[in-house]
Copies of this chain bind each other. A is one copy, B any other.
Amino acid sequence: MTVIPVKQTASLTAEELRKMQAYWQAANYLSVGQIYLLDNPLLREPLKLEHVKPRLLGHWGTTPGLNLIYVHFNRLIKRHDLNVIYVAGPGHGGPGLVANTYLEGTYSEFYPNISQDLEGMKLLFKQFSFPGGIPSHVAPETPGSIHEGGELGYALLHAYGAAFDNPDLLVCCVVGDGEAETGALATSWHSNKFLNPARDGAVLPILHLNGYKIANPTILARLDQEELEALFVGYGYKPYFVEGDDPETVHQLLAGTLDTIVAEIKTIQQDARINGFSKRPRHPMLILRTPKGWTGPKIVDGIPVENTFRSHQVPLAELASQPEHLKLLEDWLRSYQPEKLFDQTGKLIEELAELAPQGDRRMGANPHANGGLLLKDLKLPNFRDYAVEVPNPGTTTAESTRIMGQFLRDVMKLNLDRQNFRVMSPDENNSNRWNAILEVIDRVSTAEILPTDDHLSPDGRVIEVLSEQMCQGWLEGYLLTGRHGFFSCYEAFIHIIDSMFNQHAKWLKVTRHIPWRRSIASLNYLLTSHVWRQDHNGFSHQDPGFIDHVVNKKADVIRVYLPPDANTLLSVTDHCLRSRHYVNLIIAGKQPELQWLDMESAIKHCTAGIGIWEWASNDRGSEPDVVMGCAGDVPTLETLAAVDLLRQHFPDLKVRVVNVVDLMKLQPEEEHPHGLSHKEFDTIFTTDKPIVFAYHGYPWLIHRLTYRRTNHKNLHVRGYKEEGTTTTPFDMVVLNDLDRFHLVLDVIDRVPKLGYTAAYTQQFIRDKLIEHRQYITQYGEDMPEIRNWKWQH
């Protein structure tokens, strides 16, 4: 385990101070330049309207603070030889991060046309928030970033995710006082309860109190000192305060404080690494209070701008209509004295350029921020070794996700030495049946552990916290820095991170097209405790709509799997752990359920993603009378039970059973890379026979995926139609017409040739449904013939 040596605290010499101030001025100059200038980048001629962009887009307010911190971290990295990445929570301060990575040289290395000279600077300015250029926020295009910051609230989670299992890493995480109001951020401070300084890196949260959001003061900036300090003591930190609006004073205070903090972090780490973890330390954090829009225009049109919400975006926006604004802009730009910062060629002068660290120590070049560079494949056991014996389809039961847990246990075990695999869940690891993992690794907690606690220790790598947002954010941070993981969650409550998923999927989509970005491990979800088996928890726990949410994202980054049993789940899990740069969504059952496929059949089925289950069909060698499609474990069960009834009642009826594991197979191949060709689809589903399709989620999704298919007009889909309560498992499907009985009725409605026995069967089924209702309301559980049904063909 690495032990970082401690250096003494020091404050700045006059020379250091002068240079750092100049470097900061350079970063601020470049930031303002990006927001405003199309041309005349170093103001070597008087500023004219034609030099200014016609549309002014960007956020100035947070930028000088982000720049200040960057400059100080450059010093800190060099002084203490630190390995640092910079997470900019107020990610709309994009110009600041771009400016700093340009100054340190990484920007031009990644984008050679943006060279460190006058021509490059002109392009740097023009491209910002400009069509064909770069986005206005810190974005995947920004060197050194693992965090977009367009949607606020996830900075600290990404920072902790990056620090887990990265003992040498220090994550500088700037938290805006605006984003600090979000729920995700408010609970993120508690991440320190899951960070073990003996094993993990450090996070230095810097709460940047610049006081304002778009139009309002922030909550935290208006707390009195007692409450502010108490809040962060309460969160488990040792808060340091740096406040001021005089640059020199702030530089001195900040440099000294950061030296102290680094020494303290090193002391904490040394102690834990030498003596072992004993007690959660109070990690240092910094509260930095500087004016919003610092160094920008103080007054515009007689109204205060600096240090008010009015400096949030573009402080001078009426340049075309108000000539005095152009003058103010020129004064503002010249106040940084660019002529003293950049040489004749337009390059940062040498004495300032020296302030930046070298090579990979530059925050824009740190490989942790381009995690694919560091990614190592997981060592995977052979998933076939975990196979459930399935002598005959549909006769034995298993808890599919429990089997998956056994496989994941050995994935964890094989990679313990690499420390690059974590599983997350909102207090549901065992509820979701991943208990086996705890045989090889504990849950992590740095709190006091009591004897009654179960598999809990500071050395654990199973992370459980009652916040889907924390699980998601940590995992994203972990994956983005080149590691692997799996997130298990109750299906209904994964919607809590819908928006976080969006941002991650967008990140994946964009980074696919950035040449210097390397692929990272996929974000893998297991959704269980799913809609059909939340009969006990009731309506609030029933929602299968995350699939719908996922499939709206770009086809080349999303995958959806609905393995119907344990062996298919194993095969899919192995596949997902090997995949890169996707979001893989797996939905599978955790309750004892009938098993359908032996391992070889499962592999074959999962490789195809969709297939005719010949053993359940009786249309061999001919066209079927009806196709029974199914996707999802419970719909598969009900479909096969319906087929059983059909066989009994209509022995001559030719039924084809089609099971879908990979949902994207249903879409046309031009819409999704996994999609079946129309010919393949027609071969499976016929071009003219009725299809009764039992689906795990909202039925409309199947129509949306298949409306271009030849036989779509004959497709009838059953799924969740938002009916549910606390009832029995079988009643859940009955309430939504997805049960075996309704499926048989659906077939009868669609196959005209069934003749006079159809009416008898319809009456039989109506009687069964009444019997079901009476039985459950009397006994509170499903009829034995339902509970004990097996496939007997």
Contact = CB atoms under 8 A, between A and B. Distances in A.
Interface in A97-155: 126, 129-137, 139, 148-153
A498 B38 contact: no
A183 B181 contact: no
A710 to B, nearest CB: 11
A228 B447 CA distance: 13
A466 B135 CA distance: 22
Contacts of A703: 703-704, 707
A493 B148 CA distance: 14
A601 interface: no
Interface in A151-210: 151-153, 178-179, 181-188, 190, 193
A698 B552 contact: yes
A722 B151 contact: no
A536 interface: yes
Given A54-B781, A215-B464, A470-B183, A537 B234 contact: no
A503 B701 CA distance: 21
Interface in A525-545: 536-541, 543, 545
A150 B537 contact: yes
B540 A137 contact: yes
B215 A536 contact: no
Contacts of A92: 537
Given A181-B190, A447-B217, A467-B182, A57 B543 contact: no
Interface in A644-695: none
Contacts of A443: 216
Contacts of A179: 466
A420 interface: no
Contact of A776 (B132, B428, B493): B132
B430 A469 contact: no
Copies of this protein, total: 2
B506 A495 contact: no
- Count chain B CB atoms within 10 A of each CB in A193, A215, A510, A698 and give the residue with the most: A215
Nearest to A720: B552
A323 interface: no
B538 A780 contact: no
A271 interface: no
Interface in A714-751: 722, 725-728, 731
A578 interface: no
Given A235-B231, A553-B722, A427 B537 contact: no
B466 A182 contact: yes
Nearest to A443: B216
Contacts of A15: none
Contacts of A55: 536, 728, 780-781
Contact of A181 (B467, B509, B536, B777): B467
A605 interface: no
Interface stretch (A61-69, A373-381, A449-457): A449-457
Nearest to A469: B183
Contacts of A776: 131-132
A58 to B, nearest CB: 9
Interface stretch (A219-227, A259-267, A385-393): A219-227
A179 B152 CA distance: 22
Nearest to A231: B234
Given A150-B538, A183-B470, A227 B236 contact: yes
Contacts of A536: 55, 57, 129, 136
A400 interface: no
Given A183-B184, A234-B233, A427-B178, A465 B552 contact: no
A604 interface: no
A181 B499 CA distance: 19
Given A178-B466, A509-B722, A780-B55, A214 B707 contact: no
A754 to B, nearest CB: 25
Contact of A777 (B132, B187, B308, B506): B132
Contact of A452 (B190, B304, B545): B304
B236 A445 contact: no
A698 B777 CA distance: 43
Given A182-B183, A553-B722, A502 B495 contact: yes
A309 interface: yes
A240 interface: no
10 contacts: A137-B537, A151-B496, A151-B541, A182-B467, A217-B445, A222-B445, A227-B236, A548-B549, A552-B700, A704-B704
